[in-house]
Amino acid sequence: MTQPQAECTGNTFIDDEVLTKHLGLSQKDLGRYRNSKLVPLMPDFYVGDAADLEAYADIARKMGGVMGVFTKK
């Protein structure tokens, strides 16, 4: 966001990497953006490790099943 355009044109940036490496936020700071303390933040969909994304999806499916018990009328 603050780099000279000629030095960073054509790059793709990942939000949590920019926030931690360039703006100095910690993983704890990023934790404020979680919808649930039980479900981790979603890994990067396009450039992340496919195994990490699948693990996240499994947790989300399990939590959805548990949460459905409490949200069904």
pLDDT tens digits for range 6-43: 888 888 787 888 888 888 899 888 888 777 777 666 66
Q: Are residues 41 and 28 in the same domain?
A: no
Q: Are residues 71 and 54 in the same domain?
A: yes
Mean pLDDT to the nearest integer, 34-53:
72
Supply the pTM of this predicted model.
Answer: 0.44
* Assigned token pair, 24: 């100095």
Q: Are residues 27 and 46 in the same domain?
A: no
The answer to whether 59 and 36 have CB atoms below 8 angstroms apart is no
Q: Which domain holds residue 49?
A: 35-73
For residue 21, the tally of other CB atoms under 10 A from its CB is 11
